[in-house]
Amino acid sequence: MDFEALLEQSVRVHGHLCPGQVLGVRMSIVGLREAGISDPKGADRKNIIVFVEMDRCATDAVQSVTGCSLGKRTMKFMDYGKMAATFVNLCTRKAVRVLAREESREQAVALFPEMSDRYKAQLEAYKVMTEHDLFEAMQVEVKLKPEDMPGRPLSRVQCQQCGECVQDMREIRTEGRVLCRPCAHGGYYRIGEKILL
């Protein structure tokens, strides 16, 4: 994989070059290679799922390099706040988690002591640091449920409280009722006035 070309493509998707873009591109190169995925946007496009653990710049880079996305159901967002991603080869079931080493931040700045801007020092250092200095990689086991796989929805039910439909077995069944998660446990929003469209 051509790092410079992948980085350029990632910058177009993300909108600017930053250390997270460099980390995400390099993380993807390692994860894809170790999971045995050589053509993620071509021949292997239906053979990969990626779990990202952060909602930061690196996630855009992972999406750009792998072609995986939430809309295709090939990218799964795990809100762990960690600079890590797991690359799953659906053919072999091999899964590799790649984690950015925390100490790489300080090592990056030390590589370019003449740069007063730590951000720029990190950006340049992440381009040249070894994979070993940047990342920790480990084989992991990921249990994929049928309702988490790409493809058409496996089910569609109506919440008995709000009436909204819920797909892919995300409903909560409690006390003989079928509820969506917000009705069962509370959601990120509180309903206000309806808007007439």
Domain annotation covers residue 123: yes
Same domain for 9 and 65? yes
Contact assessment for residue 164 and residue 187, using Cβ atoms and an 8 Å cutoff: no
Same domain for 67 and 113? yes
Which pLDDT belongs to residue 136?
97
Helices (H), 15-168: 19-35, 57-66, 104-111, 118-128, 131-134
* Residue-wise pLDDT tens digits, 101-132: 999 888 888 888 888 888 898 999 999 999 99
Same domain for 78 and 116? yes
Q: pLDDT 10s per residue in the chain (197 long)? A: 899 999 999 999 999 999 999 999 999 999 999 999 999 999 999 999 999 999 999 999 999 999 999 999 999 999 999 999 999 999 999 999 999 999 988 888 888 888 888 889 899 999 999 999 999 999 999 999 999 999 999 999 999 999 999 999 999 999 999 999 999 999 999 888 989 99
Same domain for 38 and 116? yes
180: its two tokens: 């969506």
List, as own/partner pairs, every contact residues 164-169 make where C-beta atoms lie below 8 angstroms and the sequence separation is at least 24, other chains included: 169/145
How would you label 62-92 residue by residue, b for 16+ Cβ within 10 Å and e otherwise? bbbbbbbeeeebbbbeeeeeebbbbbbbbee
Which pLDDT belongs to residue 113?
87
Domain annotation covers residue 194: no
Question: How many separate domains does the chain show?
Answer: 2
Same domain for 137 and 165? no
Same domain for 86 and 142? yes
* Residue-wise pLDDT tens digits, 87-103: 999 999 999 999 999 99
Range of the domain at 162: 156-185
